[in-house]
A and B are shown apart, each in its own frame.
Chain A
């Protein structure tokens, strides 16, 4: 029972990781997955969140097996 986590771009560089796995706990939100994976209490304001590859709010509740992505503001095009 786990949550897989992806980090991208400058955030991955600053954390020193592009992936992590944390234990799923019923009722946990994306923010809780961030805290478990990074040992940081707060999500920096610029960081965006995706759950199962869809934009989501950090307070969105997770389900077992979800993939959560954390990344900086996008700069494509």
Chain B
């Protein structure tokens, strides 16, 4: 398992390819389930220009490690990966990457969904949107 917080932009597709080269023996896994969250313009009249992610250094990393370890405990996974941004994020940039590899799709899908849903509910991150009319903290995530 690998979990990481990144303070600058990252390419989730390059990270997936690199992780698979390093950790997944060719042909060893039949299934990979991936979630990538990117910053979108919320398109409600006051467009989001960028976002700033606050976090709790020490607590946030520990939480990501814990849920990755829990996913490996609960499902027959070969590997899982979480990468999450902090700091300033531009439109279209990746915010989060969650991925799970398994022999078959059921475990991979379920584990990947578990990682992102737990992260959204419990991981200590906080989003602040910058719009043309100023900054505001997001009060709650969109439901599952």
- Sorting the interface of chain A by its residue count into under 10, 10 to 19, 20 to 34 or 35 or more gives 10 to 19
Q: Are B59 and A69 in contact (CB under 8 A)?
A: yes
Q: Which residue of B is nearest A48, CB measured? A: B124
Q: Are B59 and A54 in contact (CB under 8 A)?
A: yes
Interface of B is mostly: mixed
Answer yes or no: A45 CB below 8 A from chain B CBs.
Answer: no
Kindly count the residue-residue contacts between A and B in the assembled complex, taking CB atoms under 8 Å apart: 73
Q: Are A76 and B137 in contact (CB under 8 A)?
A: no
- On chain A, the residues within 8 Å of B54 by CB distance are 8-9
- On chain B, the residues within 8 Å of A74 by CB distance are 120-126, 141
Given the interface pairs A6-B56, A69-B59, A71-B56, the reply to whether A76 lies near B127 with Cβ below 8 Å is yes
Answer yes or no: A53 CB below 8 A from chain B CBs.
Answer: yes
With both chains docked as a complex, state the minimum distance between the C-beta of B96 and any C-beta of chain A, in angstroms. Answer: 5
Alpha-carbon gap, A9 to B124, bound state (A): 10
Answer yes or no: B138 CB below 8 A from chain A CBs.
Answer: yes
Q: Are B56 and A10 in contact (CB under 8 A)?
A: no
Most A CB contacts (10 A, CB to CB) among B56, B96, B116, B141 go to B56
Answer yes or no: B45 CB below 8 A from chain A CBs.
Answer: no
Q: Are B141 and A75 in contact (CB under 8 A)?
A: yes
Q: Are B119 and A10 in contact (CB under 8 A)?
A: no
Given the interface pairs A9-B126, A75-B141, A76-B123, the reply to whether A50 lies near B56 with Cβ below 8 Å is yes
Interface pairs (6), CB distance under 8 Å: A8-B55, A9-B54, A75-B125, A75-B139, A75-B141, A77-B120
Q: Which 9 A-B pairs have the closest CB atoms?
A: A76-B125, A9-B126, A53-B59, A77-B120, A10-B137, A75-B138, A75-B127, A76-B123, A77-B119
**14 additional contacts, CB 8 Å, given A74-B122, A74-B124, A76-B127?**
A10-B128, A69-B56, A71-B126, A73-B139, A74-B141, A75-B125, A75-B138, A76-B84, A76-B119, A76-B120, A76-B124, A77-B37, A77-B96, A77-B119
